[in-house]
Amino acid sequence: MSKNFTKIIANNRKARHDYSIDDSLEVGIILTGSEIKSVRAGQVNLRDSYATFRDGELWLVNAHISPYQQASYQNHEPRRDRKLLLHRRELNRLASKVQEKGLTLVPLQLYLKNSWVKVELGLARGKKLYDKRQTLRERADQRQIERTLGRQQKGIE
């Protein structure tokens, strides 16, 4: 009996702040041996990364995977472009959405799923500054409501 094992390695919290995510999908990624070791050690940063189409393929650009200390001369370049793996029909569907609607592909998280490294890509639309402020305001209001309700339940007020 096999169980699905998922361990989140890196989250891109800034992506959810800067973009409104319309859709998300799971894709594979091609990594070298030293990159896998660094990923398993949790040395990944997705902050300024994005996915782009090049020659009919999807590439993850600007994701930082730290060099593995024990890899010596066979180490990798930390910010190299990495190829993403998905079916051709998914690739064509994404390419048409990105071209038509002006959407961006941003990595939301990188995780291990049954010993395979996966990337969750989000089909995102950029937020304006006032949208970001509105989101922060709503979050602060919600926290205030929860605090008030918590006090009422404890009988403080």
Q: Walk along the chain (157 residues) and give the pLDDT tens digit of each residue.
A: 457 788 899 898 888 878 888 888 999 999 888 888 888 888 888 888 989 998 989 999 998 888 888 777 778 888 889 999 999 999 998 888 888 877 888 999 999 998 899 999 988 887 777 777 888 888 888 888 888 888 777 766 5
- Three-state secondary structure string covering the chain: CCCCCEEEEEECHHHHHHEEEEEEEEEEECCCHHHHHHHHCCCEECCCCEEEEECCEEEEECCEECCCHHHHHHCCCCCCCEEEECCHHHHHHHHHHHHHHCCEEEEEEEEEECCEEEEEEEEEEECCHHHHHHHHHHHHHHHHHHHHHHHHHHCCC
